[in-house]
């Protein structure tokens, strides 16, 4: 129990560390700061500098608390792969430590390949997640959690094995697209959105098909 609390405290402090840089740079920041970019790396979203400098770390803090409580206090926590749990615990603090400073620095005119970084990070996370997902057993946080996977352990194992393969394949595609700046596949459909749709849709119908086969 104490270990869980300590983990939440440490990760929460890491999420808020960029606030120090925000204080240092605040007077130099423009009134509007770019915080969102499309798949081509073009700015399509701004925030007031106070919200960007001090609000973003707080948002990451809240996300961190939510994700860590879900992971660390899952009644079926023993069924989570330890490596995958570690990714879930430290991912939000890592993003806060990199993304918030990068956003502030870019607002001062210093170039940072934010689009490339986002694609590479997403690809790596998908590859790691997909590699360990088949090792997860039924739990309330990780894995493809559907009525049919919870109903039957064999359905869970097969569905998560398939989802893991799709994640690894999709992760490699996104990783390569980040390096070579290939962001589109069909006109205005970004690779990232296509991969996410495949990860969600294919395991859903596969799990349902397994369930129907079992009932017949």
pLDDT average, residue stretch 170-180: 85
Which secondary-structure segment (H or E) carries 46? strand 43-48
pLDDT for position 187: 45
Query: Out of 27-31, 113-117, 155-159, 165-169, which region has the weakest mean confidence (pLDDT)?
Result: 113-117
Q: Which residues lie across from 34 on neighbouring strands?
A: 46
Using an 8 Å Cβ cutoff, are 70 and 92 in contact? no
Which of the pair, 40 or 134, is modelled with greater confidence?
A: 134
Please determine, for residue 41, whether its predicted confidence score (pLDDT) is greater than 70.
Answer: no
Q: Which residues lie across from 37 on neighbouring strands?
A: 43
CA 123/CA 102 separation, integer angstroms: 19
pLDDT in tens, 50-107: 999 999 999 999 999 999 999 999 999 999 999 999 999 999 999 999 999 999 999 9
pLDDT for position 114: 76
Which of the pair, 44 or 197, is modelled with greater confidence?
A: 197
pLDDT for position 189: 55
Determine if residue 120 is left, alpha or beta; phi over 0 gives left, psi from -120 to 50 gives alpha, anything else beta.
Answer: alpha
């Amino acid at each position: 129990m104490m270990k869980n609390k300590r983990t939440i405290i440490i990760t929460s402090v890491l999420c808020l560390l960029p606030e120090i840089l925000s204080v240092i740079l605040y007077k130099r920041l423009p009134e509007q700061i770019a915080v969102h970019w499309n798949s081509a790396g073009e700015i399509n979203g701004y925030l007031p500098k106070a919200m960007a400098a001090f609000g973003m770390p707080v948002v990451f803090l809240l996300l961190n608390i939510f994700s860590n409580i879900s992971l660390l206090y899952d009644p079926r926590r023993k069924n989570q792969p330890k490596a995958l749990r570690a990714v879930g615990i430290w991912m939000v603090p890592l993003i806060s430590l990199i993304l918030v400073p990068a956003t502030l620095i870019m607002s001062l005119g210093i170039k940072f390949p934010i689009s490339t970084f986002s694609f590479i990070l997403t690809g790596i996370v998908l590859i790691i997640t997909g590699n360990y997902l088949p090792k997860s057993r039924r739990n309330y946080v990780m894995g493809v959690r559907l009525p049919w996977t919870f109903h039957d352990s064999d359905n869970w194992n097969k569905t998560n094995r398939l989802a893991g393969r799709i994640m690894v394949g999709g992760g490699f595609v996104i990783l390569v697209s980040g390096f070579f700046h290939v962001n589109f596949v069909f006109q205005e459909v970004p690779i990232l959105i296509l991969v996410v749709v495949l990860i969600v849709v294919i395991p859903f119908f596969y799990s349902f098909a397994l369930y129907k086969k079992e009932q017949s």
